[in-house]
Amino acid sequence: MNHSLDLTIMMYHYIRDRGDSAEAGSGIPGMSVRVFEAQLAEMSKHHTFVTWPEVRGALQGGGPLPSSACLLTFDDGVRDHYINAFRILHARKLSGLFFVLDRSEKDGLILAHKIHFLLAKLGLTALREAIWERLNSSEREQFTLAEKKYQMRYPPVSLDGRINLLKAVLQRDLSMRADTLLGDLFEIHVGSENETARAYYLNLEQIHEMAEGGMHFGGHSRSHPWFDWIDAEAREREIKASAGWLQQIEPGPWAFAYPYGGLSEDSPELLGKHGFVAAFTTHAQLRHSNPHFIGRLDGEEMAQVGSLYD
């Protein structure tokens, strides 16, 4: 990329209403369908929506994008994207770029989603207690140290702050232990993890239907780790897994979204090696100078703040 690229990129996760087939009584909140549609309608007055192939063309030296171009992206490959996002985009003749996880049926839920289910079911205090009870003394020490370390970044002064602090501890320092521990808690408090996962993530049939309907797909790793927390070998395994999965879906080169927006210096090289010409972060940014660190705006957060264009 010789010049910087001006492009507004929206990032979405859950799009669901309480009780619909995406939320399905889980109690896990998301951006409501009404708010998502309202945001699309407002954005359409200010932007020209573009597709992933158009963005890829611009990155690879093709024609420039229209002014005020906007790309819609969706992370984690959850069923919300088939049930709600695809339906809405298709009706408006729009395209989205969906970052899916390379999951097989026996892989269960990623840690982040186990946490969502258990937080919704137990609440923060009971979940933290249930985890603490199951840790041995050295794990408790690790937990306490990690909590201290992240307190500056995630000040536990509000419920959101305390939730983010617990997530940071579980998803980084204790990630290996937390994966099995939360798997046990899931079976006790929610139900079969594998059965839940089967219905929770997009399956290939849905993905192919979405692709036929004009949607595009990118990589988001297999196990959704923080890329700055795992080593280079593990990073390459995660990227390679995504490339293998995407080969079944659409021809490359592809785009990638860093899990949790976590960055590592060697990622661009590893991504390039496996067929990814672009990678998206969670940094709020509208002008991009590095194709492997393209910033995005969080659509749900923007909707909570109010109009994008006041």
Which residues sit at the interface with Zn ion, rule CB under 5 A? 75-76
CA distances to 43, 130, 244 from 48, rounded to whole Å, are: 8, 48, 32
To Zn ion, the closest distance from the beta carbon of 181 in angstroms equals: 21
To Zn ion, the closest distance from the beta carbon of 76 in angstroms equals: 4
Cβ atoms 284, 298 nearer than 8 A: yes
Which one, 156 or 229, has the nearer CB to Zn ion?
Answer: 229
Which one, 111 or 181, has the nearer CB to Zn ion?
Answer: 111
Cβ atoms 222, 246 nearer than 8 A: no
To Zn ion, the closest distance from the beta carbon of 99 in angstroms equals: 7
To Zn ion, the closest distance from the beta carbon of 234 in angstroms equals: 17
To Zn ion, the closest distance from the beta carbon of 259 in angstroms equals: 5
Which one, 76 or 238, has the nearer CB to Zn ion?
Answer: 76
Which residues, at least 6 apart from 102, have a Cβ–Cβ distance to it below 8 Å? 219, 221, 222, 241, 242, 244, 245
To Zn ion, the closest distance from the beta carbon of 50 in angstroms equals: 22
Which one, 76 or 102, has the nearer CB to Zn ion?
Answer: 76
Which one, 76 or 173, has the nearer CB to Zn ion?
Answer: 76
Beta bridge partners, 113, equal: none
Helices (H), the chain: 33-46, 52-59, 80, 87-91, 111-122, 124-134, 137-150, 159-171, 175-189, 193-200, 204-212, 232-246, 267-273, 299-305
CA distances to 57, 124, 135, 279, 305 from 157, rounded to whole Å, are: 45, 14, 25, 33, 20
Which one, 75 or 238, has the nearer CB to Zn ion?
Answer: 75
Token output for 243: 């490339």
